[in-house]
Amino acid sequence: MMHDVGVWGSADELIPVIDPRWFFPFSQESIQGIGYARWFLSNGKQGIVPPEEMMKCMELYQQIERIPDPTEQVRLFQQIIELNRQHLWVIGTIGRVPSLFVVKDTFRNVPEVAVSGWIFRTPGSTAPECYAIDQLTIENDEGD
């Protein structure tokens, strides 16, 4: 599949070390450079060989995956961000766009503020197993 422009909304860029799709094509979910992503995923057996600079991002990410130290992971990812700044593979226009959720008045234990995004498994990250329904409020409302 070929395309010149792709548009997607997300908050996943908040933790790019977990999901770097906005910084280089690393998976089938990457919007840009699908052939490069295929090459990366197949260890060079399929897809299109990426340019040297993008290959450097892939190598840096492979290092990040093997390093347990979060400070070192951030340092390496800053190099990926710098390569993106130099080559402008993806244009990020707006980030951290709020998501609105409607919650019924009788629901309890629902957080007022939460992070929304695929890698956070929203709404799973808000602990829906702890939500509760206030029966007393329901019964009082029915009596009115």
Mean pLDDT of 14-30: 83
Are the beta carbons of 63 and 54 closer than 8 angstroms?
Answer: no
Q: What pLDDT is recorded for position 11?
A: 59
Give the model confidence (pLDDT) of 40-75 as tens digits: 999 999 999 999 999 999 999 999 999 999 999 999
Domain ranges of the chain: 12-87, 107-143
Mean local confidence (pLDDT), 85-114:
83
The span from the CA of 77 to the CA of 83, in Å, is 10
pTM of the model: 0.72
pLDDT classification of 15: cutoffs 50, 70, 90:
confident
Label residue 6 by pLDDT band (50, 70, 90): low
Output the CA torsion sign for 122, 123, 126, 129.
negative
